[in-house]
Amino acid sequence: MRTVTLQSPPYAALSIPPAPSSSSFSFRNSTLFFNTWLPQFRASSSASTRFALDASSIQTASTTELDAVSAFSEIVPDTVIFDDFEKFPPTAATVSSSLLLGICGLPDTIFRNAVDMALADSECYGLENTEARLSCFSSKALVNVGGDMAKLVPGRVSTEVDARLAYDTHAIIRKVHDLLKLYNDISIPPQRLLFKIPSTWQGIEAARLLESEGIQTHLTFVYSFAQAAAAAQAGASVIQIFVGRLRDWARNHSDDPEIESAQLKGEDPGLALVTKAYNYIHKYGHKSKLMAAAVRNKQDLFSLLGVDYIIAPLKILQSLKESIASPDEKYSFVRKLSPQSAASYVFRDEELVKWDQASLAAAMGPAAVQLLATGLDGHADQAKRVEELFGKIWPPPNV
């Protein structure tokens, strides 16, 4: 992965379903990474299960593997930097605590003024309680940056909800309402927004209630079928599954029934979960879009063709872009997931329950429990670090 200094035009993007289309943005280990949606790559509505690489489908010698796979799924570049902006232009964005840390670490970014203006906000400034004041600053900063991004991209902006609220449904809803009001104050309509919420039971329930209000949600940290099915029943706009993280867990742990069931069938646990979740969503008519993240290689991507969105590392996309598709190439382009194949998928009776808190807790194995906890701890730590940083640099200079 390559590092990048935020310079104009820094269009950040995150794994988000398109409203025309979407993108993704994250900050890890003091390095900015961009996940950018490709507007020209749309999931195919064709019922065909095989991409016919013949003279009619490959009209010119310049047709690439990326063109071929993009007939089935929207391909989302991961870790795209500004040097690649023209190759992979983003159409949507996300804002998070990790992004705020990155902005504060790069004072020349065009988003720094959005943070400084948040720290000078009179409403937050007047709060006597230090914890409330810092939380107010953080919310204002997220929305100010999100508002700037909304002016730069045509698609939706996703805003992360504080992971420390993950086990409090009403607190999540209050936070989303607060963020939505702040966005309304700067004239960003709700149709341009998504809110990224952890897939605890409380987060899933919050998503259900928010979606009933017409507020779009993106459920993350999904590591089990029970979470995916509950999220679909809740009507989440986007459900994100991390393929590679499940594989990594399975290599170093055991005694997870869901993972062992996939392995006994000779299946990769991450790929198997995406397949099962996709089939559930499409067989039973749920509105959710499914996103496969943490894709590690070409074969992963080929195995997921047909899922709504695939987040792939830049090195994979570059290889696909540079490879010319031909009838005799090594990999055949087959649509692995489709509404037609979903219709014939057989689920067990216990998988078709109306999920509630008790059944979800009972069904989540150690992989989902541990990976969810790890994700929450990491994001909660980032939120805390932002508040600590704001406490040190407030009030900002020259404002």
Give the closest residue to 171 by CA, choosing from 135, 141, 120: 135
Dist. CA 115–CA 94, nearest whole Å: 15
- Strands 24-28 and 31-35, how do they pair? antiparallel
Alpha-carbon dihedral angle through residues 99, 104, 107, 112, given to the nearest 10 degrees: 70
309-341 as b/e, with b when 16 or more CB fall inside 10 Å? bbbbbbebbbbbeebebeeeeeeebebbbbeeb
Q: With left for phi above 0 and alpha for psi between -120 and 50, is residue 346 left, alpha or beta?
A: beta
Torsion, Cα of 122, 124, 125, 126 (10° steps):
90
- Residue spans of alpha helices (H) in the chain: 65-69, 97-105, 112-119, 122-125, 130-152, 169-185, 201-212, 225-234, 243-252, 257-264, 269-283, 298-303, 314-322, 339-343, 357-363, 366-393
Q: Of residues 196, 276, 289, 298, which has the active-site annotation?
A: 196
- Judge contact between 289 and 211, C-beta under 8 A: no
Which CA distances in Å does 358 have to 34, 202, 242, 329, 350?
Answer: 37, 12, 24, 49, 13
**Which two tokens mark 345?**
């998928």
Distance of CA 12 to the CA centre of its chain: 13
Helices 130-152 and 112-119, packing angle to 10 deg: 150
Please state, in angstroms and rounded to a whole number, the distance separating the CA atoms of residues 171 and 164.
Answer: 10
Six-digit token pair at 143? 């929305």
The yes-or-no answer on residue 196 being catalytic is yes
Active site residues: 196
